[in-house]
Amino acid sequence: MNERFENINLLRAFAAVAVVVYHVITYMKWDAFPISGPLVAFRIGWIGVDLFFVISGFVITRSALALWRRDADAFRRRYWAHRVSRIVPLYVLTCALWIVLFMPDFWDQRLLRALWQIAAHLTFTHTFWPFTYSAIDGVNWTLGIEMQFYLLVAALIPWIARTRGSRILLGCIVIALVWRATMVYFFIDFGPTRLFMTLMQLPGTLDEFGAGIFLALWLDRRPPHRLEGWIWTLGAIAAGTFCMSVYWSHSGYWDDPRMIIFWRTLLGAFFLCVVAAAVHLPPIARTWPLRPVWYLGEVSYGIYLWHMFAVTLCLRITDLTPLQALGITLSVTLLLASASWHFFERPILEYGRRFHGSGVPRRQSAAASGS
């Protein structure tokens, strides 16, 4: 179970760039951005986060299954060595830099409130309170959801390993729908911002994570086959056409409780087919001319965490057009993401992947290539 599924990096690249472009459109008030044609997808580039959730459900579950079966006793230490080394260092670095660069009055507030802000972010519980939710590098709310999902997988991996994927997916869908319906009932009158915060807690995103879990268990019981890849591709075309047609005919979204409750389940089904097609079809991501896109996927975590630094910088430059802001944002973000990947993230990640779970890094061995 050490396949890297390189094609997934193409999806990561799209997800990260979609979020970046969406934020430039939103913050720069780019009203002239195309409202038809292929580029219109970037107007709803926030769906990149949903794609990341489906990918995480697949990758994390598959990695956890491999680690648990290799050595159940050492599973938790190895699992958390992998997860922490991947997520935490850059997250802490960007949080600290955000406070220094963009929150100069951070320590002017009440000490207890400042310490609460820091503690909430360090424990990935900042998604629980409105004043911490998007307070530091606004996109960080998704990292809280991701880390909470990692904790859930760590706790349930023995059960996940012996349970049918369809049963898990159905349970995740039911939980997500019930959660979103409950949040709509109690918070719809509080406005989209507060409603969004409550909807996007972990229970409300479980249908998307569950789609990834389903795919991981699907592949756990049968190796990928090229023919199935084309079937999943046709499924992605059909599901995507239906899902997007529903969205564009109800693009008000927040005005329709049915959309708020049910549409993300359709989106999760669409992205399940997309990710499944990527892992079943022959690996092409590292071939030219797709290799640069693969590289964007490789540094996509940095792109995601750094891009709001660049967007905020653009907002402080007067007379900047949205197109100029997009060019600056993409350039600065890619530069920061590349530098942090090569000189900061990857060395720490490689150390975490070598970690044996006994308190010391594992020496060279055939098993050192875990996902």
- Tell me: the pLDDT tens digits for 19-77? 999 999 999 999 999 999 999 999 999 999 999 999 999 999 999 999 999 999 999 99
- Give this prediction's pTM: 0.94
Q: What is the chain's length? A: 371
| Element of type H or E holding 338 | helix 322-340
DSSP string covering 129-182: SHHHHTSSSGGGHHHHHHHHHHHHHHHHHHHHHTS-HHHHHHHHHHHHHHHHHH
Alpha carbons within 13 angstroms on the beta-carbon side of residue 235 total: 20
Can you count the helices (H) and strands (E) in the chain? 15, 0
Q: What tens digit of pLDDT does each residue of 264-287 get?
A: 999 999 999 999 999 999 999 999
Instruction: Measure the CA–CA gap between 147 and 144, rounded to whole angstroms.
Output: 5
Structure token digits, residue 217: 């268990």
Please enumerate, as own/partner, the contacts of 80-86 that have beta carbons within 8 Å and a separation of 24 or more.
Answer: 80/154, 81/352, 81/353, 81/355, 81/357, 82/352, 82/353, 82/355, 82/370, 83/147, 83/150, 84/352, 85/348, 85/349, 85/351, 85/352, 85/353, 85/355, 86/301, 86/345, 86/349, 86/352
> Would you call the peptide bond into 289 cis, given omega within 30 degrees of 0 as the criterion?
yes
* In the predicted structure, residue 357 carries a pLDDT above the cut 60: no
State the burial class of residue 359 (Cβ atoms within 10 Å of its Cβ: 0-12, 13-18, 19+): exposed
* In the predicted structure, residue 370 carries a pLDDT above the cut 60: no
Instruction: Measure the CA–CA gap between 145 and 112, rounded to whole angstroms.
Output: 24
219 contacts 62 by C-beta, under 8 angstroms: yes
Percent pLDDT > 90 in the chain is: 91
* In the predicted structure, residue 16 carries a pLDDT above the cut 90: yes
* In the predicted structure, residue 326 carries a pLDDT above the cut 90: yes
* In the predicted structure, residue 371 carries a pLDDT above the cut 80: no
* Other Cβ atoms within 10 Å of 62 Cβ, number: 23
Q: What is the pLDDT of residue 166?
A: 97
* In the predicted structure, residue 366 carries a pLDDT above the cut 50: no
Q: What is the pLDDT of residue 1?
A: 42
Q: What tens digit of pLDDT does each residue of 127-162 get?
A: 999 999 999 999 999 999 999 999 999 999 999 999
Closest CA to 45 of 16, 67, 72: 16
Integer CA distances (angstroms), 145 to 49, 98, 149, 209, 369, in order: 11, 20, 6, 10, 27
- Computed over every residue of the chain, the mean pLDDT equals 93
Q: What is the pLDDT of residue 95?
A: 98
* Average pLDDT score over residue span 182-207: 97
